[in-house]
């Protein structure tokens, strides 16, 4: 693999190079015949090339123009690589899926990992599963339970729409340049629409954002003007509780009981 491309700090680039962890990620994806794989941020192809060898076809989304030609050259003869040169936050995954479910994989850029997660959530209906590598601290927040110090908006939003399963930790030395933090690989499996039970996704998202906007406030104060005593009662929630004490199902009940904005 070529190493002439210098990682760009502005793009949050940390390139994975350690074979053992690359193999574990490919094993976690475990592509099957007929799967439609889409990789976000292929970088220098550490995960791309093994997946292509294994599966024969892959679509990648890469924002860094300098990486496009090297990727195409390295993939030659390995399989069918389709390169989408685009900011992932502007990708319409529903259109990309074209009516068939897709599987996402990627070492997400650290500086925009949360926006990417919220963006792919909007397209969860066409995504079969996602295997992502992110900062371990972000994965901890994604999988956190109520009452945890790191349970927050990200935890609730992701767990409402997906099953979240942390898989393994990846140390800084597995990357070039080494990040200052541990990373972790996580699997997200979107829930069937009927299982989610959210009547109005926009109302749910707004309520969760407001509830965690000022963590020290009680739900009654944080959601003043959004929910009244009757809504809390209908949802079976104590208005004196704080957002980090409420489980995902509680937020869904409250959003479904609250009036439309």
Residues tagged in the binding site annotation for S-adenosyl-L-methionine: 14, 16, 41, 62, 87, 107
Cβ neighbours for 157, distance < 8 A, ≥ 6 positions apart: 118, 121, 205, 208
Binding-site annotation: residue ranges? 14, 16, 41, 62, 87, 107
Contact 25, 69 (CB under 8 A): no
Q: Which residues lie across from 84 on neighbouring strands?
A: 61
Contact 216, 243 (CB under 8 A): no
Angle separating helix axes 48-55 and 19-29, nearest 10 degrees:
50
Contact 111, 87 (CB under 8 A): no
183-190 vs 175-176, strand pairing mode: unpaired
The total of other beta-carbon atoms located within 10 Å of residue 100's CB is 10
Contact 155, 144 (CB under 8 A): yes
Contact 222, 152 (CB under 8 A): no
Contact 162, 189 (CB under 8 A): yes
Compute the C-alpha angle 51/97/183, nearest 5°: 45
Cβ neighbours for 75, distance < 8 A, ≥ 6 positions apart: 45, 48, 49, 52, 81
Contact 1, 31 (CB under 8 A): no
């Amino acid at each position: 693999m070529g190493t002439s491309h210098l990682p760009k700090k502005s793009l949050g680039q940390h390139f994975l190079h350690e074979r053992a962890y690359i193999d574990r990620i490919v094993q976690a994806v475990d592509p099957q015949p007929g799967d439609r794989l889409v990789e976000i941020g292929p970088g220098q192809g550490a995960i791309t090339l093994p997946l292509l060898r294994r599966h024969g076809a892959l679509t990648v989304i890469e924002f860094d123009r300098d990486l496009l030609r090297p990727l195409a050259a390295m993939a030659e003869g390995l399989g069918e690589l389709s390169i989408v040169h685009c900011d992932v936050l502007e990708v319409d995954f529903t259109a990309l899926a074209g009516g068939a479910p897709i599987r996402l994989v990627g070492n997400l850029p650290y500086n925009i990992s949360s926006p990417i997660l919220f963006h792919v959530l909007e397209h969860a209906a066409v995504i079969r599963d996602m295997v992502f590598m992110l900062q371990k601290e972000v994965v901890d927040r994604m999988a956190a339970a109520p009452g945890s110090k790191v349970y927050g908006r990200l935890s609730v939003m992701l767990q409402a729409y997906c099953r979240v399963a942390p898989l393994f930790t990846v140390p800084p030395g597995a990357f070039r340049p080494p990040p200052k933090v541990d990373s972790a690989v996580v699997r997200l499996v979107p829930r069937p629409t009927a299982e989610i039970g959210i009547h109005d996704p926009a109302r749910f998202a707004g309520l969760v954002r407001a509830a965690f906007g000022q963590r020290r406030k009680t739900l009654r104060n944080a959601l003043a003007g959004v929910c009244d005593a009757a809504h809390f009662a209908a949802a079976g929630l104590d208005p004196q509780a704080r957002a980090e004490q409420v489980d995902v199902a509680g937020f869904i009940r409250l959003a479904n009981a609250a009036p439309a904005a």
